[in-house]
């Protein structure tokens, strides 16, 4: 808790989180830094994307990181998740740029100096061009290229990192690259190549886990995308079977195959899917009930379903410690984001009260950024970014999150927002009775 902030008057009015809980937000290098010329994504977007959806300068965090971390600190965060852009550090095979290694040292040091715990992701979707030219993750050798990079950076930054994330969402990468083909290289690929990519990512994670632990005793994990699945009709056996298979494939297969190579579970949670029919192809979208989901959704059409995070946590509970490495909402309506935060954190609090070892939460995202192939329209940020001027403005939801962090839990006056009868403004402007 910030020493200048008032102490909570009585604990019974607060849904308390455990001591030393990590409260933060997440970003990834390509989405916020800007000018990542040397990546497969940059090359692809020059022809595949309209100008307004190209990354360009993004939020220019490459230059503005100090300003962003000052805000992070001001907003009370005690942890931050960010990633390295591999293509900057190793622009050609085996050649490491000292100036870029130094750049990231300054970035990480800036967080350390502010007493913010660092969770560092080593691969978040983009590849150096030279790796992509050799076949990217389809090439068996890539896990070795990645491993050499990991050895280098884990040695360089061992004193600055508190948590290591090897890979971000390998299954989402496979989905967007090969199944809906909205990501580079947008080429048709046989199922064999998808499977090969999956196993190469498995091998990359395992090697990276071992390599990092040669230099660092800090926990190593993965940021894995998990979804909550429910049947549309409770009595439908085929829908239950769909849930079972989807859960097995999407939520557990990667963790199962890499078991023994995780010090914690990193879970990115966004999506709830209701199954209407049996899965007949790899595509899950035809079995979504769009009509139902439209009632309470984000700007991307993702259903707001707080109970889903409780369900996923129960499913993963009682093994390793859990960090929610991402969870957030794309919305131009910040009231919706505020309610989202309170509702989802309430469910996480409920999971903790029922004995599940959740140790941290990273809201996606600290600031508005490039939402990959969708460009800059989706607004995930606690901090609004004006992409013309690069001006940062914390949204009211960031301040609500700050109040939660200061109380290390959800104070009573915010819990009132769990229902729908009360306006966010009304609660925030009322004199507080915790
Ligand atoms: C990814 C982020 C992405 C976010 C919202 C996650 O799948 O890790 O890079 O921006 O979801 O779509």
Please give the average per-residue pLDDT across 379-395, as a whole number: 98
**Ligand 1 atom closest to Cα of residue 300:** 12
pLDDT band (50, 70, 90) for residue 8: very low
pLDDT band (50, 70, 90) for residue 7: very low
pLDDT band (50, 70, 90) for residue 6: very low
pLDDT band (50, 70, 90) for residue 295: low
Query: Among 364, 365, 375, 382, which residue has the most ligand 1 atoms within 8 Å of its CB, making it the best to mutate?
Result: 364
409: pLDDT strictly greater than 70: yes
pLDDT band (50, 70, 90) for residue 10: very low
Our answer on whether the CB atom of 369 is closer than 6 Å to any ligand 1 atom is no
339: pLDDT strictly greater than 50: yes
Q: In whole angstroms, how far apart are CA 321 and each of 15, 357, 376?
A: 20, 5, 34
Residue 279 has a pLDDT of 53
| pTM reported for the whole predicted model | 0.93
Q: Where are the beta strands (DSSP E) in 252-408?
A: 265-275, 322-327, 358-364, 383-386, 391-394
Please give the average per-residue pLDDT across 402-421, as a whole number: 88
Residue 188 has a pLDDT of 74
Backbone phi and psi for residue 392, each to the nearest 5 degrees, phi listed first: -105, 135
Compute the distance from residue 225 Cα to the ligand 1 centre, in Å.
9
434: pLDDT strictly greater than 70: no
pLDDT band (50, 70, 90) for residue 432: low
Is the preceding omega at residue 365 within 30 degrees of 0, hence cis? yes
pLDDT band (50, 70, 90) for residue 2: very low
Our answer on whether the CB atom of 121 is closer than 6 Å to any ligand 1 atom is no
Compute the distance from residue 83 Cα to the ligand 1 centre, in Å.
13
Our answer on whether the CB atom of 268 is closer than 6 Å to any ligand 1 atom is yes
Helices (H), 52-121: 61-74, 86-89, 98-113
Our answer on whether the CB atom of 55 is closer than 6 Å to any ligand 1 atom is no
Best mean pLDDT range from 240-244, 349-353, 429-433: 349-353
* Least-confidence region, from 137-151, 179-193, 226-240, 268-282: 268-282
pLDDT band (50, 70, 90) for residue 420: low
**Ligand 1 atom closest to Cα of residue 223:** 8
290 vs 238, more confident: 238
359 touches 321 (CB < 8 A): yes
133: pLDDT strictly greater than 90: yes
Residue 281 has a pLDDT of 33
Please give the average per-residue pLDDT across 277-288, as a whole number: 43
Compute the distance from residue 13 Cα to the ligand 1 centre, in Å.
34
Please give the average per-residue pLDDT across 17-35, as a whole number: 98
Query: Among 372, 373, 376, 377, which residue has the most ligand 1 atoms within 8 Å of its CB, making it the best to mutate?
Result: 372
Residue 11 has a pLDDT of 54
83 touches 29 (CB < 8 A): yes
**Ligand 1 atom closest to Cα of residue 169:** 8
380: pLDDT strictly greater than 60: yes
Our answer on whether the CB atom of 28 is closer than 6 Å to any ligand 1 atom is yes
pLDDT band (50, 70, 90) for residue 363: very high
81: pLDDT strictly greater than 50: yes
Residue 421 has a pLDDT of 67
Residue 297 has a pLDDT of 83
Dist. CA 174–CA 178, nearest whole Å: 6
4: pLDDT strictly greater than 90: no
Our answer on whether the CB atom of 364 is closer than 6 Å to any ligand 1 atom is yes
288: pLDDT strictly greater than 80: no
Our answer on whether the CB atom of 326 is closer than 6 Å to any ligand 1 atom is yes
Decide: helix, strand or coil at residue 313: helix
124 touches 83 (CB < 8 A): yes
Please give the average per-residue pLDDT across 71-92, as a whole number: 98
Our answer on whether the CB atom of 172 is closer than 6 Å to any ligand 1 atom is yes
């Amino acid at each position: 808790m910030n020493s200048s902030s008032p102490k909570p008057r009585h604990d019974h009015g607060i849904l308390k989180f455990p001591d030393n809980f990590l409260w933060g937000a997440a970003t990834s290098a390509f989405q916020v830094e800007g000018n990542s010329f040397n990546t497969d994504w940059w090359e692809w977007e020059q022809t595949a994307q309209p100008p307004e959806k190209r990354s360009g300068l993004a939020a220019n965090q490459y230059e503005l990181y100090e300003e962003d971390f000052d805000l992070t600190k001001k907003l009370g965060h005690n942890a931050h998740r960010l990633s390295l852009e591999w293509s900057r550090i190793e622009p050609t095979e085996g050649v490491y740029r000292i100036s870029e290694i130094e750049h990231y040292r300054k970035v990480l040091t800036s967080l350390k100096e502010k007493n913010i715990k660092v969770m560092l992701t080593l691969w978040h979707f983009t590849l150096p061009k030279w790796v992509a030219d050799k076949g990217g993750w389809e090439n068996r050798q890539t896990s070795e290229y990645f491993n050499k990079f990991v050895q280098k950076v884990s040695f360089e930054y061992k004193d600055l990192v508190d948590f290591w994330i090897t890979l971000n969402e390998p299954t989402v990468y496979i989905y967007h690259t090969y199944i809906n083909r909205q990501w580079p290289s947008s080429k048709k690929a046989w199922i064999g190549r998808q499977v090969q990519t999956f196993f190469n990512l498995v091998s990359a994670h395992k090697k990276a886990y071992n390599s990092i632990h040669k230099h660092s005793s800090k926990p190593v994990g993965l940021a894995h995308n998990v979804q909550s699945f429910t049947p549309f009709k409770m009595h439908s056996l085929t829908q239950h079977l769909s849930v079972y298979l989807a859960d097995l494939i999407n939520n557990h297969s990667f963790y199962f195959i890499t078991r023994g190579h995780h010090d914690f579970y990193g879970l990115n949670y966004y999506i709830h899917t209701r199954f209407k029919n049996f899965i007949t192809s790899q595509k899950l979208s035809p079995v979504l009930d769009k009509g139902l989901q439209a009632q309470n959704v984000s700007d991307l059409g993702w259903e707001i379903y707080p109970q889903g995070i409780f369900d996923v946590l129960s499913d993963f509970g009682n093994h390793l410690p859990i960090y929610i490495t991402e969870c957030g909402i794309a919305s131009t309506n910040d009231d919706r984001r505020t309610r989202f935060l309170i509702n989802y954190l309430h469910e996480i609090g409920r999971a903790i009260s029922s004995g599940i070892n959740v140790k941290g939460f990273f809201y996606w995202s600290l600031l508005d950024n490039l939402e990959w192939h969708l460009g800059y329209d989706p607004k995930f940020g606690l901090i609004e970014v004006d992409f013309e001027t690069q001006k940062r403005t914390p949204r009211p939801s960031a301040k609500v999150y700050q109040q939660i962090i200061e109380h290390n839990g959800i104070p009573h006056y915010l819990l009132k927002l769990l229902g729908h009868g009360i306006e966010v403004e009304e609660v925030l402007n009322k004199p507080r009775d915790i």
